[in-house]
Copies of this chain bind each other. A is one copy, B any other.
Amino acid sequence: MTPPNSTTQDPAAPHAVTHVPPGARSTIALLQRELERRWPGGLPNVDGVSRYALLPTGKLLRPLLVVESACAVGGTAEDVVAAALGLEYLHVGSLIHDDVIDGDATRRGRPTVAARYGTPEAIVAGDALIIGTFVAVTEHAGPGLSAERQLAVVHALSRAGVDLCRGEAMEAELCGDLGCGMDRYLEMIALKTGALFRGACRTGVLLGGGTPEQEHAVVEFAEHLGLAFQMSDDLLPHTSDGAASGKSPLSDVANGRPTFPVLMGHRLAGPAGRRRLEAALRGDTPAAEAHETVREVLESTGALEAAAERARSEAALAEACLSALPPSRSRDVLADVARGSVDRDR
Contact = CB atoms under 8 A, between A and B. Distances in A.
Given A100-B123, A119-B101, A127-B97, A154 B134 contact: yes
B131 A161 contact: yes
Given A120-B172, A151-B150, A127 B94 contact: yes
Given A97-B124, A123-B97, A124-B165, A132 B158 contact: yes
B130 A168 contact: no
Interface in A90-141: 94, 97, 100-101, 119-121, 123-128, 130-135, 137-139
Contact of A130 (B120, B127, B139, B154): B127
B101 A165 contact: no
A151 B147 contact: yes
B173 A45 contact: yes
This chain: copies in complex? 2
B147 A123 contact: no
A166 interface: yes
A130 B127 CA distance: 8
A146 interface: yes
Given A146-B147, A151-B147, A173-B45, A127 B158 contact: no
A173 B45 CA distance: 8
Nearest to A118: B172
Nearest to A160: B131
B157 A134 contact: yes
A42 to B, nearest CB: 16
B128 A130 contact: no
A134 to B, nearest CB: 4
A254 interface: no
Given A45-B169, A147-B147, A169-B46, A162 B131 contact: yes
A148 interface: yes
A150 B152 CA distance: 11
A311 to B, nearest CB: 26
Nearest to A102: B120
A151 B147 CA distance: 7
Given A130-B127, A135-B159, A46 B151 contact: no
A46 B172 CA distance: 11
A133 to B, nearest CB: 8
A170 interface: yes
A329 interface: no
A275 interface: no
A38 interface: no
Contacts of A135: 155, 158-159, 162
Contacts of A97: 123-124, 127
- A-B pairs with lowest CB-CB distance, top 6: A134-B158, A131-B161, A128-B165, A147-B147, A46-B169, A138-B155
Interface of A: 45-47, 49, 94, 97, 100-101, 119-121, 123-128, 130-135, 137-139, 146-148, 150-151, 154-155, 157-159, 161-162, 165-166, 168-170, 172-173
14 contacts: A45-B169, A45-B170, A46-B166, A46-B168, A97-B127, A101-B123, A125-B165, A126-B127, A127-B130, A132-B162, A134-B154, A134-B157, A135-B159, A135-B162
